Amino acid sequence: MQVKVCSKCKTEKEIELFNRDRSKASGYRSWCKVCDNINNKIQYEKDPQARRDSRKEYYYANREGEIQRRTEFRKKNVDMHRGHKYMQLYGITLEQYEDMRCAQNYKCAICGLDEVDNKNKKLFVDHCHDTQTVRGLLCHWCNAALGSFKDNTDVLEKAITYLKERNGKR
């Protein structure tokens, strides 16, 4: 068991209680993790923007690697990423989404198109933009159509009348 003395708190601690640092001869930082965390917390309480700035600096200094790392992470964790998005955008869990898919027999709630025949091979969450209430799952085309009509039933009824009157006529 290796030990090291923290230069901040002057306490002898196990080497595992120090953060790694390749630039140091010992391979570890001179302050223990506890002192390091306290120092960082004090710094960031004084200037909360500093933490965001340091993360931005790191990202832009290592942009290609960061983009690749994040892309690989998303590919490995597709369900987790989708679950976060569903919760963030619609307030539903991935399990609730899956329950809705099953309840709709994996088909669009409007036209009945099977999700495997859909544009992205998945159903899209339809929700009311005013109340944020989830209404069901739709194929790409039905979801885009409702979005184009801005959920306005009057305009949709006029579109139906238009199609009935003019369908097949030139």
CATH class (in words) of the domain with range 93-164: alpha beta
CB 28 within 8 A of CB 50: no
User: Could you tell me the CA-to-CA distances from 170 to 22, 157, 165, 166, 167 in Å, in that order?
Assistant: 76, 21, 11, 8, 8
For residues 39-63, average pLDDT: 78
pTM (2 d.p.): 0.59
Q: Give exposure, 129-164, as e/b (b: 16+ Cβ within 10 Å).
A: eeeeebebbbbeebbeebeeeeeeeeeeeeeeeeee
Return the residue matching tokens 């290592």.
Answer: 62
Q: Does pLDDT of 170 surpass 60? A: no
Q: Is 105 left (phi over 0), alpha (psi -120 to 50) or beta?
A: left
Q: What is the pLDDT of residues 5-26, one digit of tens each?
A: 999 999 999 999 999 988 888 8
Residues of the chain with CATH 3.40.1800.10: 93-164
What span, in angstroms and rounded, lies between the C-alpha atoms of 55 and 34?
Answer: 21
Q: ∠25-36-73 over CA atoms, to 5°?
A: 85
Q: Does pLDDT of 139 surpass 60? A: yes
Q: What is the pLDDT of residues 160-169, one digit of tens each?
A: 999 888 886 5
